[in-house]
Structure 1
Amino acid sequence: MKSSRRIAIAGITALAVAGALAGCTSGSGSEDGKLELRVATFPPGADQAAYDAFAEQEAQFEEANPDIDIVGVEYEWTAPTFAAQLAGGSLPDVFTVPFTDSKTLLENGQLADVTDEIEELGYADKFNPIILEEVTDADGRVFGFPRQAYANGLHYNRALFEEAGLDPDSPPTTWDEVRAAAKQISEATGKAGYATMATGNTGGWQLSVQADSRGASLQTANDDGTYTSTIDNDATKATLQYLHGLRWEDDSMGATFDLDWGTINQEFAAGNLGMYTSGSDVYTALVRDFGMAPDDYGLTVIPTEDGGGVLGGGDIAVMPPNLDDETQAAAVEWIDWYYMQKLLDEDAAVADAKALSEAGQAVGTPVLPVLDQETYEESLTWIEPYVNVPLDQMAGFTEGIFEQTPIGEFKGQTQPIYALMDNLVQAVLTDENADIDALLQQVDVDAQALLDQ
């Protein structure tokens, strides 16, 4: 990216052409005869340092591929707007989507088949098979490049821990300890000791995280390809009762109960809440986009009990299905260079880490590897001189995550059901007399109606 003029804004269109991508962008020639490839960069509002790092990477790619002109497009996936962007053709030629949406998109024919390209690149067998399954159809065809994954973790503010008389180097290891710490933080500092997301499908997502940690199974896949909703279970009920206790008995959750991914990160970075759960990779956004002081950040694993595991996720680099052959080839070239080689090749990994480090961007944020563990651990040795995140403040996560059982998100109607589950969280946090049993019974009915469509 040579200047801010080159940043195209991924506009949101109201055109509702169901399932159609007739207007989807494909590459076009630039003034100097190069193929112009529009690629996703960062959400609107990312700081200049992020774009400086991208500009350096763009220059490196264009030097190696002189016939391709990269145009960075500001991009942010959100559940309410994504369908409109997709239908209206306002997406870049290369963009990312969460694992939870990939199955629906590929089944609807809305993603390009990249099976042959991945096999030709020679690393199809290096992917974590659980993660690769997220972009594979029933015939074994692959529709995207898994490029990053995460496990949910417990994020905590070290400064608030110290102010409350807690040891930030010994974070909570059970949900009971989390609750006790939240109460102590709230009483000592006047800040929310614990908070949770509750809107924009994120409340359902984080309710799922906690329920899974207590051994829940929220959905059953049937042999005939259908799904049965099982949200109404003891672990989900225990989670809602836990949140109710934090809110109404302990008064440990502050006064804001409509947080989503962006606003909870903002509140946490500003020092207004002590703990919350989210993806392990959020440190980068907290520091880069929300201005958090690195010294205040702490990360540990989510407590698990009764056979529970840790919910993971991530996203994939994809293309719309109607790019012309030349543009799709260029898009694959970019995805392989920008996303994949830094995971596979030492020189690429070092160049990427060096560019990010020199631009003041985070290097070494904890993730779950999309490739096999051996390849991942080797890649960490390559970039060790450039790691600039406070790994000692994340030791609870990095040392504990491989001992936890990873759990994938349920597959049927994921985002619409998360929206239903938002209502459970909001009800418990805003109504002291909320009937949890009745709410759970109703959400299963409503979720099953979605699954039966």
Structure 2
Amino acid sequence: MRSSRTTALAVAGVLSIGLLASCSSDDADGTGEGGKVKITVAGLLPTADDAAKEQLAERVAAFEEEHPDIDVETEDYEWKASTFTTQLAGGTLPNVFEIPLTDGKTLIENGQLADIDAQVRALPYGDDFNEALLANGTGDDGKVYAVPAKSIYAVALHYNRNLFEQAGLDPDQPPTTWDEVREYAKQIHDATGVAGYATMALDNAGGWQLAAGANSRGGVIETFDGEQYTATLDDPAVAEHLQWLHDLKWEDGSLLDRTDLGWGDINTEFAAGNLAMYTSGSDVYNSLVEANGVTADWGYGLTAIPTSGDGGALTGGTMAAVTKQSTDEQKDAAVKWIDWWYLSKLQDQDQAVADARTRAEADPAQAVGTPVLPIFSKENYEQSLEWVADYVNVPLEDMTGYTDVMFDQELVPEASAAVQDLYAQLFPVVQAVISDEDADVDALLATANEAAQQAIDG
């Protein structure tokens, strides 16, 4: 999740470029001026800078030139567990909206997504998706209701290379174990006064990152025996990671003393130089550039999340879906937009170059080449990077701790059943550990696990 992107998974949203605020403002039959099909779509985070807005506007204009019978309007949109359900029930989502990868199945089962199977299968690459990813948007009837769209990520460790240097650490040798992360965090704090580490603790993002920490240590927050899903929030690896956070805060004093950091909040603090390391989706550099003003020479570093035993990197991402209220004409237009905005740049060289060029030539420039996991295949991913090589502007030389292992590291999928409910039960435990030195972790996890199981059973 980013939501999860957080995920985070936590996840991207859309910027209104002087246009309508919600799909409720569409004409009832989905037609606009001159009989065009009118759709509202998600695009950028509400905090995106002017350059990102301009880049989106250029891509919208190019799309409308290519499809003169479609009128596209963009909206502010940021997926949050606390507001999404209300937006969905109230019909205020744009025609094309974004959801965490793991939410697709539940929304499909609840009949809350439009059937876009015919439109997706008709795409030139409709049969080329990574099947494991597409399965998250496929119903029991075999039809496609959502497609992996962007930000397919593994949770990774983000760090400030300048703070490493100020503390006498080699930024080209980032930590590879959690013990080293703790050592580096204390050394940075002692040398600079800046928090060496921070964690998300607000809303489901806090539970998402606690789960990522547990996964990296070989634990899981849910099991499935072929018939029954069982909550395992009391897995020893969950408690181990909580104890690690406790020690950073109460023994070392190196943990940022904040219990109110969500996905966007921690990005803001990191960009401001108020913390040296944190975990989030491997793709978060895009948002740091677009919403937080980070530049290629800022001093950003990316490396793999530390793992031990059977541990791996929690993976997730974003899917694009279409509202049930959309007309057949809007569904056709919506999938054409999904193809244009999210996918064709991975399959078509001209589209890849056009998208990269507008991003790289924006003022300030937007990120091109941030490492992500492939929506189609590794070969397709590498080919698409070759197409845009002249425009890649991210500091890849400072991301090798991640890129050297991104296709080889063990990946851990998010929990399948009631994952957002599981995250919702975990984040208060994170907050308790940060704010109360004597928090009873075992008792807190036992209570959280009982509530999580009820959510699964429900």
Tell me which interval the TM-score lies in, with the shorter structure as reference length. over 0.9
Pairwise mapping of residues 349-368 of structure 1 onto structure 2 (< 5 A)? 349-359=352-362, 360-368=365-373
| 2:16 and 2:74 in contact (8 A); partners too | no
What is the CA-CA distance between 1:28 and the residue it aligns to? 2.8
Change (3 A) 1:190 1:441: same
1:89 to 2:96 alignment:
no
Indicate which of 358, 369, 377 corresponds to 2:374: 369
Indicate which of 162, 166, 170 corresponds to 1:167: 170
Aligned to 2:50: 48
Change (3 A) 1:24 1:107: farther
Aligned to 2:113: 111
Indicate which of 428, 431, 436 corresponds to 1:426: 431
1:416 to 2:428 alignment:
no
| 1:179 and 1:246 in contact (8 A); partners too | yes
Give the whole-Å Cα distance in 1 for the aligned partners of 2:274 and 2:22.
32
Matching residue's letter, 1:312: T
Aligned-pair Cα RMSD in Å: 1.8
Per-residue CA deviation, residues 394-417 of structure 1 (Å, 9 max, x unaligned), is 111111222211111101111121
Per-residue CA deviation, residues 124-148 of structure 1 (Å, 9 max, x unaligned), is 3321122111112223221112112
Give the whole-Å Cα distance in 2 for the aligned partners of 1:280 and 1:180.
23
Per-residue CA deviation, residues 241-271 of structure 1 (Å, 9 max, x unaligned), is 1111111111111322221111111110000
Aligned to 2:9: none
Moved more, 38-47 or 26-35: 26-35
Aligned to 1:229: 231
1:155 to 2:158 alignment:
yes
What is the CA-CA distance between 1:116 and the residue it aligns to? 2.0
Matching residue's letter, 2:183: A
Moved more, 252-261 or 61-70: 252-261
Matching residue's letter, 2:335: V
Matched position secondary structure for 1:292: coil
Aligned to 1:392: 397
Aligned to 1:79: 81
Give the whole-Å Cα distance in 1 for the aligned partners of 2:455 and 2:383.
44
1:451 to 2:453 alignment:
no
What is the CA-CA distance between 1:192 and the residue it aligns to? 0.6
1:210 to 2:199 alignment:
no
What is the CA-CA distance between 1:4 and the residue it aligns to? 7.0
Matching residue's letter, 2:84: F
| 1:24 and 1:91 in contact (8 A); partners too | no
Indicate which of 69, 72, 80 corresponds to 1:70: 72
What is the CA-CA distance between 1:5 and the residue it aligns to? 6.0
What is the CA-CA distance between 1:282 and the residue it aligns to? 0.7
Pairwise mapping of residues 330-341 of structure 1 onto structure 2 (< 5 A)? 330-341=333-344
Aligned to 1:325: 328
Give the whole-Å Cα distance in 2 for the aligned partners of 1:192 and 1:26.
52
| 1:147 and 1:317 in contact (8 A); partners too | yes
What is the CA-CA distance between 1:32 and the residue it aligns to? 2.9
| 2:39 and 2:333 in contact (8 A); partners too | yes
| 2:315 and 2:411 in contact (8 A); partners too | yes
Q: Where does structure 2 lack aligned partners over 5 or more consecutive residues? A: 1-14
What is the CA-CA distance between 1:334 and the residue it aligns to? 1.1
Change (3 A) 1:89 1:25: farther
| 2:189 and 2:195 in contact (8 A); partners too | yes
Aligned identity (percent) is 52
Per-residue CA deviation, residues 354-392 of structure 1 (Å, 9 max, x unaligned), is 111111211111111111111111111111111011111
Q: Where does structure 1 lack aligned partners over 5 or more consecutive residues? A: 14-22
Matched position secondary structure for 2:307: coil
TM-score, structure 2 as length reference: 0.92
1:309 to 2:321 alignment:
no
Give the whole-Å Cα distance in 1 for the aligned partners of 2:28 and 2:173.
52
Moved more, 288-297 or 315-324: 288-297
Matched position secondary structure for 2:284: helix
TM-score, structure 1 as length reference: 0.93
Aligned to 1:195: 198
Give the whole-Å Cα distance in 2 for the aligned partners of 1:391 and 1:404.
18
1:183 to 2:195 alignment:
no
Moved more, 437-446 or 424-433: 437-446
What is the CA-CA distance between 1:27 and the residue it aligns to? 6.1
| 2:211 and 2:220 in contact (8 A); partners too | no
